[in-house]
Amino acid sequence: MRALAQFLPVLYLVSLIVFILVYLTGDPSALLVPEDATEEDRLALVAAWGLDQPWHVQYLAYMKNILSGNFGVSYRYGTSALPVVLERIPATLQLAGGALLVALLIALPTGIYAAVRRNSRSDLIVSASAVLGKAMPNFWVGIMLILIFGVWLRVLPVSGSGTWWHLILPCVTLGLGFAADMTKLIRSSMIEALGQDYVRTARAKGIPEHVVVLKHALRNALIPALTMTALHAIGLLGGALVTETVFSWPGLGQLIVQAIYTKDMAVIQIAVFAITIMTLIINFAADLLYRLIDPRIRI
């Protein structure tokens, strides 16, 4: 119940902010009517959609509809906006989950290895690679991957969806920046953990080094890494917007871009709601995982 009490004010503020921002962009009626439509046709459309009302009247009507289970009609699709958004959520979750997996598969081994081999040549290479990975913007990485694997080598599809092969390039594009941040954090956390008294005690007992590193040090180093994972998982949902556009991936990001172009208020609101709800769920799940990793932590 406490989590629900925290969710509702956030959702209300998000709905208000997004509504005001979309309202300030102007009347979408010019984008909805045909090119040969008369001014009378446009005004009739404006009245039919209630766009001639003051913003606060439009917002109250919108909130009343939401509370009654009516999430509005998409201007662009001419149907209920809720199914339009819901059918895009699985694709975005696939992309974000795949990108998170790519990042963890890169960051965990390289971060641990760099910490164990601190100040060695390998450590310097890993650190330099992490800085380079963070410096490269997602859209540029995506274009380079398309050029290499799609145009030159022709081994991977570069747009659309349908198979797991379609996921590879967008997931790598979205996950590389996160992997760079995570590698640096795991390295620093592991270095700090390896210097603690309990690690020295474990080594003095003759426990094998790989057990000391993976069981004793890594568990404590994972807590800050988990915090960053939760934050970046949220960022991946929003960052997917650019990646989905580059790879024509049919997720929420591409839908939001199209809705912004057409000022499709209902779709924008529900899409942002969906991302907000997923964000709150991720934060709550991270709190629970803290407790599992370290029982001393209280939520």
Check: CB of residue 256 under 8 Å from CB of residue 213.
no
The per-type count for the chain, helices as H runs and strands as E runs, is 14, 0
Distance (Å, whole) CA 249 – CA 134: 23
CA distance 29 to 75: 9
pTM of the model: 0.80
Integer CA distances (angstroms), 123 to 106, 167, 187, in order: 14, 31, 9
Task: Give yes or no for a contact between 217 and 193, defined as CB atoms under 8 angstroms apart.
Answer: yes
Separation in Å, CA 165 to CA 92, 100, 151: 16, 17, 15
Strand, helix or coil at 88?
coil
The phi, psi pair for 160, rounded to 5°, reads 80, -170
Q: Which residue, among 178, 156, 172, has the nearest Cα to 243 in the 3D structure?
A: 172
CB count within 10 Å of CB 49 equals 18
Kindly report, residue by residue over 242-279, the tens digit of the pLDDT.
888 889 888 888 888 888 887 787 888 888 888 888 88
pLDDT in tens, 20-58: 877 777 767 766 676 677 777 777 877 877 777 888 888
Distance of alpha carbon 187 from alpha carbon 110, whole angstroms: 8
Domains of the chain, with CATH numbers?
Answer: 2-86 (no CATH), 89-250 (1.10.3720.10)
pLDDT digit string, tens, across residues 164-214: 899 999 999 989 988 998 999 899 989 988 888 888 888 888 888 888 888
Q: Do 249 and 204 contact (CB within 8 A), yes or no?
A: no
pLDDT of residue 22: 75
